[in-house]
Amino acid sequence: MVNRHILHFLIGGFALFSVDRLVLDRLTGATVAGEDPRTEIVVAAPRVAAAYARFREQNGISPTDTDERMLVERMVEEDVLYSEALARRLHEGDRSVRYRLTEKMRFVVGHETELSDAELYRQALELDLGRDDAVLRRMLVHKLKLILKLAAAVEKPDDAELGLWVEGNRARYEQPARIDFTQVFFSRQSRGDGAEAAALELLASIANGTAEPASLETAGDRFPWGRRFSNDAARGVAQRFGPDFAEGVFELPVGEWVGPLASAYGFHLARVGERSEARMPSLDAVRTSATVAWMNEQREDAYRQSVEALRARYEVRVERPGGGEEGAS
C-alpha cells in the first residue's frame, strides 16, 4: 500500500498539476471537458531554444534559418503524432507502455510493494505518470508512424513503371566507371620544388625510349598505397589521391604514360591499363532492391500526406526564443 506521506505528496502534486492542466492538455491532445482535444499545438520557446542549442553542440555551428525551420518542423510533427496517438488511445494495451508505467508506479510506492502489476498500472494511469515521459512519447510517436505507413495500400510496380523509376534514380543504381592504372610517385615532402621537375624528366625519358620498362618498377618515391591500382572507381581514387587527381586520371588515354598529375602528396606519372565506362545494370539485376525502394518511397509519400492531413486539424503556434511568436500551420 502507498504510505500516508507518499499519498499526501501525490495528492498535493496532482492538485498543483491540475492548475496547469488546460495548457498541457492542449499541447498533448488530451481531452478537456467541453472542448475539442485536437485544436492547438504550442511549441514553447524553451523547447525551441534547447533544440537550437543541441544543434550547435552536435555540429559546432549555429543553425541557419533553414536549419531552424527544419528543427521546428520536426517538433511540430512530433507533437501532432503524439497528440494523435493519445487521441487514438494507442497507449492502451501497449505492452511496452504498460511495463514502463508499471515500473514508474513501483518506484513511487516502493519496490517492496505487494500490489499486483495490474494495480500498479491502473494507479499509474490515474496519476497520469506518463504525461511528461520522453521515452513513452517516443514509443507512441513511433507506433503511430508505423500505423500510418503500413496503412498505405502500395502494390508492386510493373516493369514499365519500375524501369522509369530506376532511370530517374540513376545515381543510386548506376555502376561507376572503373580503371586499372599504374603510377610513379614524386614526393613533394622529400623533393620539395624539384618533385614536378623530376616527374617531367622521367616522362621525357619514357617518351624518347631511354627509360627501360623494368626501371619504372622502382622509379620515383614510395607511395603509401602502392604503385598499381585495379578496378578502382573515382571515389576510391579520390580518397587516396584527392579529387583533382581522380578527375584527371579518368580522362587519360589508355596505354600511355601521362603527367605529371598533382595530388595532395606530390606529383605522379600515370598509365591507364584498362577503363570501363559507367553503365546502368539491367532491370533484372536490380529488380528486388529497386522494388523494395520504390514501395518504401510510396509509403513515405503516403505517410507525409497523412501527416499533413492530421496537421490540418491543428492551429500551430511557435514561440521564438527571446520573444515573438509565429503560426506554423
Residue 213, pLDDT score: 78
**Strand 315-319 with 325-327, pairing:** antiparallel
- Rounded to whole angstroms, the Cα distance separating 223 from 215 reads 16
Residue 326, pLDDT score: 60
Measured from the Cβ of residue 134, the count of other Cβ atoms closer than 10 Å reads: 7
Residue 1 has pLDDT above 90, yes or no: no
What residues does each domain of the chain span? 4-153+307-327, 175-276
Residue closest to 2 by CA, chosen among 151, 109, 80:
109
Query: 260-294 burial string, b = 16+ CB within 10 Å, else e?
Result: bbbbebbbbbbbbeebeeeeeeeeeebeeebeebb
**Strand 315-319 with 40-43, pairing:** parallel
Residue 325, pLDDT score: 58
Give CA separation, 2 vs 18, 73, 115, 124, in Å.
21, 42, 9, 12
For 146-198, write each residue's pLDDT tens digit: 888 888 778 889 999 999 999 999 889 988 999 999 999 999 898 998 999 99
- Rounded to whole angstroms, the Cα distance separating 86 from 78 reads 12
Instruction: Tell me the β-bridge partners of 183.
Output: 270
- For the chain, the first-to-last Cα distance in angstroms comes to 47
Which residues 6+ apart lie within 8 Å of 237 measured at CB?
Answer: 179, 229, 245, 246, 249, 250
**175-276 architecture in CATH?**
Roll (3.10)
pLDDT band for 131, please (50, 70, 90 cuts): low
4 grid coordinates? 500516508
Percentage of the residues of the chain whose pLDDT score is greater than 70: 85
Alpha-helical runs (H) found in the chain: 4-19, 21-28, 45-59, 65-87, 95-109, 117-127, 134-151, 159-168, 170-173, 188-191, 194-207, 234-241, 243-249, 283-311
Residue matched to cell numbers 549555429: 62
Q: Calculate the CA 42 to chain-centre distance.
A: 26
What's this model's pTM, rounded to 2 decimal places?
0.55
Residue closest to 180 by CA, chosen among 238, 115, 120, 250:
250
Residue matched to cell numbers 507518499: 6
Residue 328, pLDDT score: 52
- Rounded to whole angstroms, the Cα distance separating 98 from 118 reads 9
Which residues 6+ apart lie within 8 Å of 127 measured at CB?
Answer: 10, 14, 105, 108
For 220-232, write each residue's pLDDT tens digit: 999 988 899 999 9
